[in-house]
Chain A
Amino acid sequence: MQHEARNKGELCWQVSWEGMAGIDPQGSRRTALAAEEHLSSQLLPYSDRKMCGIALTAECIFFVSDPHGLYPLLEATENNDIYAAAWIGIFVGFALLALSILGIVGVMKSSKTLLLVYIILMLITYAFEMASCITAATHRDFLTPNLFLKQMLERYMKSDTDNNNDKQMTEGVTKTWDNLMLQNQCCGVHGPLDWQEYTSAFRMTHNDADYPWPHNCCVMNTRSEPINLDGCKLGVPGFYNSNGCYDAISGPLNRQAWGVAWFGFAILCWTFCVLLGTMFYWSRIAY
């Protein structure tokens, strides 16, 4: 019964296009078949969008999960909007998924109301995703080496913190840098001489003669002790890490920012085409 009514609905739409085709059984069957093919090709963009929605959600969940542990650095710069962009991406992905189902239902029923609701909700989702892309791209531009250098010098191993929030950010930065230097065998942002060229919170509590740079910059043995502390303090190649950590920071953050921004941009371009097509289709539907 429902199937019959659906066929009749499509038939009605086709006839309104063709106008004077007349109602003959063969003609109606032909136009019904044509309508079926047309319908399935109409539905294809919506199922593509389901895939895009799922892919966007998956990508943004990966970024939000912070596999490289760099979030405390961004939190301390009070500039963690690329994470906000990823969170928006998660919800936009879900929205795309749900709305594409609504779109499919709307096209199958050829319902003007449903499709109008679909178009308006998609426009809202479009605006959110646009905000997410632009945020990710803009805030990526703020992440320069000097930003991380200043933050490292001012917060790493800072002992006199003003309030709870400051203490939490300081601990986050200290732990993140310790992990970074140990895991990536690097020191400072540009190199160990960062600690020599600038005064720092670290220098307040650790004197220059014993700690020209933090001991995490030394080459470690399996028990996490420097293999030769004097060699490390002297700066003899082989006993200390001479390269900077900026690549280890900027690599993942760049990938995250550009991943959210460009993938979102691609989805939005595709969404643009589908929305234009839907509006065009909507304007041709008869009640």
Chain B
Amino acid sequence: MHPLLLLLLATAHGLDKLSYKPTLVGGNVEGRMTGSTFVLEQPRCVFDSYSTANIWLVVATREGMDAFNDSAQPGMPEWSFQRFPTNTSAYLTLGAMQYHYGCPKPDRELTVLRVGSETDCADNISVPNCNGPLPGPGPYWVKFLALNGSEPTATTEWSGPITLKTAREPQSIPGTGGARSGAMIAITAILSVLLAILLAALLATLCSSEACGVGSFRPDAASIRRYNTHHVYDQPAARL
């Protein structure tokens, strides 16, 4: 019922409804959706028969999409970016003459429209058509509107919902510590065992000498200990 009414209204005003649906650019462009911008394909070969028209992009919330009036004028404060989304549910931006979207699409060029790239005019109410950064994650719906002077002559379909990225807090990053690796456990274990063996060997060595008093009463050891190099040829019997 509602779309039928819209269609009647459109034909009544001489507004052509084109079946083109605006889409996001392909996947190899990494910045196609950021926290406050998104990138659309240009509407090439869509408005060929409207060579005198200005092509405008309409960005709207859900309410704006339902309530949008195609007789919107770009300079009007009701459709200005600065009042979006609190005081208005849609705005017009990125106005361009039709010849910018000529057909065919140039082969080796990237033909895109970045919505949200102008940060200078975002607070400047004297620039109501500012292509300012989007204020929230959305979702947003877009469509193109061709205006001949102040008369709308053609419009495309609304796009699908475009929801921007919501960034998480860094505190939510899990597991900044690591698990114990096998190599570290091997090093610790082996070195501890070796140190223990060394200490045990040191104790055994010291105790086998006179320190612990274990072997100190063997007569031959005592005699060897008193063996004096200067008297080698004088006391041969002391060896026994």
Contact = CB atoms under 8 A, between A and B. Distances in A.
Interface of A: 5, 8-9, 11-12, 15-16, 19-20, 23, 119-120, 123, 126-127, 130, 133-134, 137-138, 140-144, 146-147, 149-150, 153-154, 192-193, 196-200, 203, 207-210, 212, 230, 233-237, 240, 242, 258, 261-262, 265, 268-269, 272, 275-276, 279-280, 282-283, 286-287
A142 B177 CA distance: 5
Across the A-B interface, the 8 shortest Cβ-Cβ residue pairs: A235-B30, A235-B31, A137-B184, A209-B133, A141-B178, A153-B170, A208-B35, A199-B167
Interface of B is mostly: loop
Interface stretch (B63-71, B78-86, B98-106, B221-229): B221-229
Interface of B: 28-32, 34-37, 39, 110, 112, 114, 116-119, 132-133, 165, 167-170, 172-181, 183-184, 187-188, 190-192, 194-195, 197-199, 201-202, 205, 208-209, 224-225, 227, 229, 232-233, 236, 239
Contacts of A197: 165, 167-168
Contacts of A230: 114
A263 to B, nearest CB: 11
A20 B176 CA distance: 71
A74 to B, nearest CB: 14
B227 A16 contact: yes
A272 B119 contact: no
A198 B170 contact: yes
B195 A127 contact: yes
Contact of A235 (B32, B197, B233): B32
A196 B188 contact: no
A24 to B, nearest CB: 12
A234 B133 contact: no
B82 to A, nearest CB: 15
